[in-house]
Chain A
């Protein structure tokens, strides 16, 4: 073993020595020809046989991405339908007047689903609705604005729900429901999805004109 090792070492040291000599000779040359060697040698691309060929390449290290698509229309995620052992796409809607409580409860539901292994398709908010509470004045017939109540809604969309898991899930949700918060579980339909978008009256007018 040892002689081989020593020979290997010897050969390595010989190579290093040779390289050193080559390097020193190389180093001398650029300094004579180009006193400021930074700018010039960076722009020179080394020849293919040179060990440092392709030293500055970096684009091959980036992940391959498809070219950037144009802004896409909001596609609806597929709606699952109920099978014999699981429910389809369900919307768990949480609504109430206190925004912090409603948001925290919807976050709790989302985290519970992750923990139980239920797939959460989406978690979005519906626009807030303001309700004005008007009271009759004590002396007089005019109504005056007593309070403005805002109703906040958050929806957690589950793609599927196992039938065996459903009673446990619902039980936990109901037992942890805070005061002042309403919980509703419904099936998701395409109409629900479309209701989130704003209508564009001019576009609809133009389309109706085309088809007239």
Chain B
């Protein structure tokens, strides 16, 4: 296998600590991540003589994903099953403290208004000033004044360059890059340089994009590889083709959207086929999870 993979195996791993949080009320769009700490061991650079001349140019690419922000809607069968389970649970359940209190107080009220009411004969002397029914009313009032954000926004969904579209699905970032005279849509990639790990190359690929994304890499090992042999006319002895190694990363924070022309596309997996070349799509589709 090419030299860099062997190199990665011999280097000690980065300590990897991350903290991911679920959605909180009032957040728009992106799930928040916080990193506890990342301690890196410094990378040793290998001596020149070890790496023999390999005819492949190496590149590293980043599969940057925006994770789903809300859970997907249920399909009809799931909805029916969920209702049935809810019904079963409700029928099997026992009254809670709050409900018992409501019943007691309703009973007490009816006894008070019965006519022959004697407060001295009451067993429980401690009567709450604030009845449970009043508390329930205040809670319902508060709930009415709460406006949840809409789950699906049709106009944002259609804008392919916004990372806030399709909150229930995971999206992958594509950029338009010039490869050998042709402009095509690819996962962001750059060429590997001597003395750096492939992961550092991938980070450099991300940093070279004009938008400043805050990103967490999921691991030091690549998740996929794409081999491209140059057409026979251009092929030389020292350059047979390119090998692209893909790394997975998660978007932690998106920058404020710029009004300029769309340079990026955030696409779901089924939309990727329209923009990627078939051979490339075959390899890339292997590691992109459509969950």
Spell out A's residues near B (CB within 8 Å).
Answer: 82-87, 96, 163-164, 166-168, 170-172, 174-187
Closest to B223 in A: A167
Give min CB distance, A88 to chain B, whole Å.
9
Say yes or no: A184-B19 contact (C-beta < 8 A), given A84-B10, A171-B248, A175-B67.
Answer: yes
Measured CA separation A168–B21 after assembly (Å):
19
Measured CA separation A86–B13 after assembly (Å):
8
Q: Would you give 26 A-B contacts (Cβ < 8 Å), ordered by A?
A: A82-B12, A84-B11, A84-B13, A87-B13, A163-B13, A163-B220, A163-B221, A164-B219, A166-B219, A167-B218, A167-B221, A167-B247, A168-B223, A171-B289, A174-B67, A175-B68, A175-B289, A177-B67, A178-B71, A179-B22, A179-B23, A179-B70, A179-B71, A180-B22, A183-B22, A185-B18
- Across the interface, which residues of A come within 8 angstroms of B223, CB to CB? 167-168
Asked if B16 and A185 make an inter-chain contact with CB atoms under 8 angstroms apart, the answer reads: yes
- Across the interface, which residues of B come within 8 angstroms of A181, CB to CB? 22
B9 within 8 A of A: yes
Partner of A184, one of B15, B18, B219: B18
Asked if B221 and A84 make an inter-chain contact with CB atoms under 8 angstroms apart, the answer reads: no
Closest to B220 in A: A163
- Across the interface, which residues of B come within 8 angstroms of A82, CB to CB? 12-13, 15
Most buried by A among B9, B13, B287: B13
> Quick one: which of B36-78 are within 8 Å of A by CB?
36, 65, 67-68, 70-71
Asked if B221 and A166 make an inter-chain contact with CB atoms under 8 angstroms apart, the answer reads: yes
- Across the interface, which residues of A come within 8 angstroms of B68, CB to CB? 175
Asked if A167 and B219 make an inter-chain contact with CB atoms under 8 angstroms apart, the answer reads: yes
Give min CB distance, A111 to chain B, whole Å.
15
B17 within 8 A of A: yes
- Across the interface, which residues of B come within 8 angstroms of A163, CB to CB? 13, 219-221
Partner of A172, one of B18, B219, B291: B291
B20 within 8 A of A: yes
Give min CB distance, A207 to chain B, whole Å.
33
Interface size on B, as a range, is 20 to 34
- Across the interface, which residues of B come within 8 angstroms of A166, CB to CB? 16, 218-221
Asked if B9 and A84 make an inter-chain contact with CB atoms under 8 angstroms apart, the answer reads: yes
- Across the interface, which residues of B come within 8 angstroms of A96, CB to CB? 22
Partner of A170, one of B11, B19, B23, B218: B218
B250 within 8 A of A: yes
Known: A85-B13, A96-B22, A167-B218. 15 other contacts (CB 8 A): A82-B12, A86-B13, A87-B16, A170-B218, A171-B248, A171-B289, A174-B20, A174-B67, A175-B170, A175-B291, A177-B22, A179-B23, A183-B22, A185-B16, A185-B19
Most buried by A among B12, B70, B170, B219: B219
Complex A-B, nearest 4 residue pairs according to Cβ-Cβ distance, in ascending order: A167-B219, A167-B218, A166-B219, A175-B291
Asked if B12 and A180 make an inter-chain contact with CB atoms under 8 angstroms apart, the answer reads: no
Give min CB distance, A118 to chain B, whole Å.
14
Measured CA separation A179–B167 after assembly (Å):
13
Give min CB distance, A87 to chain B, whole Å.
7
- Across the interface, which residues of B come within 8 angstroms of A178, CB to CB? 22, 71
Asked if B289 and A185 make an inter-chain contact with CB atoms under 8 angstroms apart, the answer reads: no
Measured CA separation A112–B67 after assembly (Å):
19
Give min CB distance, A173 to chain B, whole Å.
9
- Across the interface, which residues of A come within 8 angstroms of B16, CB to CB? 87, 166, 185
Closest to A173 in B: B20
B241-258 Cβ-contact flags toward A at 8 Å (1 or 0): 000000110100000000
Say yes or no: A182-B21 contact (C-beta < 8 A), given A171-B289, A176-B291.
Answer: yes
- Across the interface, which residues of B come within 8 angstroms of A185, CB to CB? 16-19
Say yes or no: A177-B20 contact (C-beta < 8 A), given A84-B10, A85-B9, A171-B218.
Answer: yes
Measured CA separation A181–B19 after assembly (Å):
11
Give min CB distance, B144 to chain A, whole Å.
17
Closest to B249 in A: A167
Give min CB distance, A145 to chain B, whole Å.
12
Measured CA separation A142–B30 after assembly (Å):
37
Measured CA separation A183–B148 after assembly (Å):
24
- Across the interface, which residues of A come within 8 angstroms of B70, CB to CB? 179
Measured CA separation A59–B13 after assembly (Å):
54
Give min CB distance, A146 to chain B, whole Å.
10
Give min CB distance, A212 to chain B, whole Å.
39
Measured CA separation A170–B289 after assembly (Å):
12
Give min CB distance, B135 to chain A, whole Å.
10
- Across the interface, which residues of A come within 8 angstroms of B11, CB to CB? 84
Measured CA separation A194–B136 after assembly (Å):
44
